[in-house]
Structure 1
Amino acid sequence: MKRVAVIYLASYTISLFGNSIAAVALPLIVLATTGNVFGAGLLALASGIPSVLGGLFGGVLIDRVNRRTASIASDLISAGAVAALPIVDLVLGLNLGWFIVFAVIGAFGDIPGMTARETMLPAIVRHSGISAERLMGIRESIAPLVMLLGPGIAGTLMFTLDGTTVLWVTAATSGIAALTTLLLPRAVGVIVDDDGQPVNAPTSLRTAGSELREGLRFLFRGNPLVRGVLVINLLLIGVLTGFQNVVLPAHFTSIGQGGTAGFVLSAVGLGTLLGAGLYAVLGPRIRRRTWFTIGMGGTVAGFTAIALLPATPLILAGAVLVGLSTGPVGALLGVLLIESIPERLRGRVTGAQNAVLTTAPPVAAFGAAVLATWLGLRAAALVLLCAWIACVVFSLFGKAFRNLEPNDHAATEADHADQQ
């Protein structure tokens, strides 16, 4: 693997670890500092809205500046927002208001940072010489690895260090991620046209609104494949959240195994690690449609095993199967997005997509809770399963995912462009 890809993946990994530590440590530090349980929930809500706005408008900005620079700036914003907390604690003393202020500031760095890294993927493929399949397979393997290790590392830090030190460690991870990205050639972040030639990005803020509308139009009405990928990811995140945050915790609590719910997330992570790793090795050797069909079918089998709420070992086996199936599918969908989104629109389309996906977890968790309250736990689980089966049927038999091979896909894109 070439140096450019190694640096990119290292930066991506370090940033994910920082986010993983923050997700566990910050709510605990808020509780320890304020003693306010409601405050922990308010902190999550306060950071949610700017995350959506940051995704929408950050994407427009990323289409105007060097994308490597945007990624570095986003990580520095995240690092500064966390590092400010122990400084304020030392000078003025922390309260819930300060946590909310810096959570809002940090949220404006997190989603744009994620978007900036994703927009660099085609350039990483060009400059590193590795295939998009291999790059996405490795990248999709990193997230579940962090999912498996990150919470444990965060818990260890909270157990062995005081909250202030943990905040400095969290800020340092974002800073190191920014420094790692700085090692990438500046050319990786240059905005190019579909032929790979540098373009002059707009600089006037007066056109930002129209650029945002253009990105939203492409996402929702432009390319059917991009829209289909959004629907699959939205429902997958929603169904997983419904099971992980509502159905399974309630189920395991009712049978006196409340702690088991955490192992389900680890089981999904283990399966995803194996599945994405398999795709990284074998991706180009097997037809994309085969990967897609087997992967989507596997998710149905896995979610069915979970939704029926059988014995605990079967639920865990279903969770592993879900991860094993979504690993290759997630990597393949990433490859399709690399090929389908025009370079000049990549920032605003990816930013809008990330903003939409950010809304899925809270909405899904609330919806699953309402279903479980009104209809019962098993009924809520079956509704989630039926929603995913409908998504799988739509994707397997819909026109958007009929031609997935590189040549067929390129021909389909050309036909679509001619119709515009």
Structure 2
Amino acid sequence: MRLIPIAYLASYLLSLLGNSIAGVALPLIVLQVTGSALGAGAVAAATAVPAVFAGLLMGVVIDRINRRTSSVVTDLVSAAAVAALPLVDMLSGLSLGWFVLFGIIGSLGDVPGMTARDALLPAIVRHGGIASERLLGIREALGAVALLLGPAAAGTLMVLFEGSTVLWITAATSLVAALLTLLIPRRVGDITAAEGEPAATGNGWAQLRLGWRVLFRSRFLIVTTGLSVASAIVLASLQGLILPVYFTLVEQPGMLGFVLSALAGGMLVGGTVYAIAGARGRRRGWFLAGVFGSALGFVLIAALSSVWIVLAGAFVVGVASGLFASLMGVLMIERIREQMRGRIMGTQNAILTAAPPIGILTAAVLTEYAGVNVAAIALVGVGLVALALSVLARSLRNLEPEPAEAGTGGAAVIHSA
């Protein structure tokens, strides 16, 4: 494998690992400093809204500057925001206000950083001499590795180091991720329009509206985005509320960690399988494997019949998610115009960022008034309906790559059918 994809994948892993460690360590540090669960919730809420808006608005910037540069800058913003917390702690001591302030600043790099990396993918395929199926499969497998290692690393670091000192390490992962991205030649990040494709014109707001118009007029993008959002809502509701309540009721709260490990292990298997064999066979088959695997896993979990069946369901969902996410990544490379990737994928990532809180809140209301079993069945039912609709959708029947049209220079074009 060439340097370009290796640098990209290593940077992706470190950035995701840092976020995974911070996601566990930061709420614990807030609790240690403030002594208030409400304070930890306030930090989470204060950072969620800016992250969504940053994802929506920064897509225009990502479509106007070098994609490698935008990826490096967003990692540096994340690193600086995290590193500022232990620095302030050393100088004057931390308070809730500092956590909120730097949480907001850090959120401005999170979703745009994710979008910048996604937008860079086609160039990595072109310049890196690697098949998109292999690249996306490896990327999903590495994401599972970060999900497996992050919580364990956070717990270990919280034992070894005191308070905010742990955050120096999470900031270092973002910094090293930025440095690894710099190993990718700058020319790889240049935005190259297909031959005959008009150059971007108009102010930022006009360009943003154009991206939204393209996104919401494409049946393919509407269906795939909707399916991803439904899956995110179901998974978040299961992980964030339904399963913690269930394991508490059966007096086995420690099993929640094993469920998350089973999910990540399944994702690792699914991503690896797709990296090895994803270019073989018809894509519709891979799509159906992901859809029906997700449906089976969700049903096993929603039954809440035994701990072991829940674990098996989580592993099946993980395998299916690894296959589905890898395939969707390949399709996004092929079917979104180069000049609109930042705006379209930024909007998608912003919507996906907002989905988990919606799932957890819905699960909380249903659990409170109808019970955890009803909440599990209702939310998984929503996911099953979304999966069924995706199987019937005309825009997802033909997923094979299309030959480049004359005069397009090989660029993929979004279709509305």
TM-score bracket for this pair, using the shorter chain length: over 0.9
CA spacing shift, 1:263–1:408, aligned 2, 3 Å? farther
Match of 2:188 in 1: 188
- 2:74 maps to a residue whose letter is S
Question: What is the CA–CA distance in structure 2 between the aligned matches of 1:151 and 1:196, rounded to whole Å?
Answer: 48
Alpha-carbon distance between aligned partners in 1 of 2:128 and 2:297, rounded to the nearest angstrom: 36
2:325 to 330, 353, 376: 330
Q: CA deviation at 1:405?
A: 1.0
The residue type equivalent to 2:32 in the other structure is A
**Aligned partners of 2:73 and 2:178 also within 8 Å:** yes
Within a 5 Å distance, the mapping from 1:379-390 to structure 2 comes to: 379-390=374-385
Match of 1:282 in 2: 277
- Alignment check: 8 A CA contact 1:395 1:401 kept: yes
Answering whether residue 336 of structure 2 is matched by residue 357 of structure 1, we say: no
SS, match of residue 285 in structure 1: coil
Percent identity, aligned pairs only?
49
| Conserved? CA contact 1:43–1:100, under 8 Å | yes
Is there any run of 5+ residues in structure 1 with no aligned partner, and where? none
Q: Report what 2:49 is aligned to.
A: 49
Q: 1:224: how far off?
A: 1.4
The yes-or-no answer on 1:64 pairing with 2:59 is: no
Offset at residue 200 of structure 1 (A): 6.6
Give the alignment's TM-score, normalised by structure 2: 0.95
Q: Deviations over 1:336-393 (max 9, x none)?
A: 1111111111001111111111100001100111112222211111112211111111
Task: Give CA deviations for 1:65-102 in whole Å, capped at 9, x if unaligned.
Answer: 11111111111111111111122222222111011100
Work out which of the residue numbers 207, 213, 217 in structure 2 matches 1:217. 213
Unaligned runs of 5+ in 2: 407-411
The 8 Å contact of residues 191 and 201 in structure 1, kept in 2 or not, is answered as no
Change (3 A) 1:415 1:151: closer
- The yes-or-no answer on 1:307 pairing with 2:299 is no
**Partners of 2:371 and 2:403 in 1: how far apart?**
46
Return the letter of the residue paired with 1:111.
Answer: V
Equivalent in the alignment of 2:84: 84
Amino acid of the structure 1 residue aligned with 2:355: A
> How many pairs are equivalent?
412
* Separation in 2, partners of 1:293, 1:388: 15
Q: Does 1:207 align with 2:203?
A: yes
Partner of 2:409: none
Distance in structure 2 (CA, Å) of the matches to 1:86 and 1:255 = 39
Contact 2:337/2:413 (CA < 8 Å) preserved in 1? no
Note if contact 2:71-2:181 (Cα within 8 Å) is conserved in structure 1.
Answer: yes
What residue is the counterpart of 2:398 in the other structure?
403
Distance 2:337 2:126 in 1: 15
Q: Distance in 2 between matches of 1:40 and 1:251?
A: 23
| Aligned match of 2:261 | 266
TM-score by length of 1: 0.94
| Alignment-mate amino acid for residue 67 of structure 1 | R
Q: CA RMSD in A?
A: 2.0
More displaced 10-residue stretch of structure 1: 160-169 or 41-50: 160-169
After superposition, give the CA deviation of every residue in 1:150-200 in whole Å (9 maximum; x if it has no partner).
110111111001223211111111111111111101011101113599x97
Q: Where has structure 1 moved over 6 Å in runs of 4 or more? A: 408-411
Residue 280 (structure 1) shift: 0.3
Query: Does the aligned pair in 1 maintain the 2:71–2:117 contact within 8 Å?
Result: yes
8 Å contact from structure 2 (residues 284, 399) kept in 1: yes
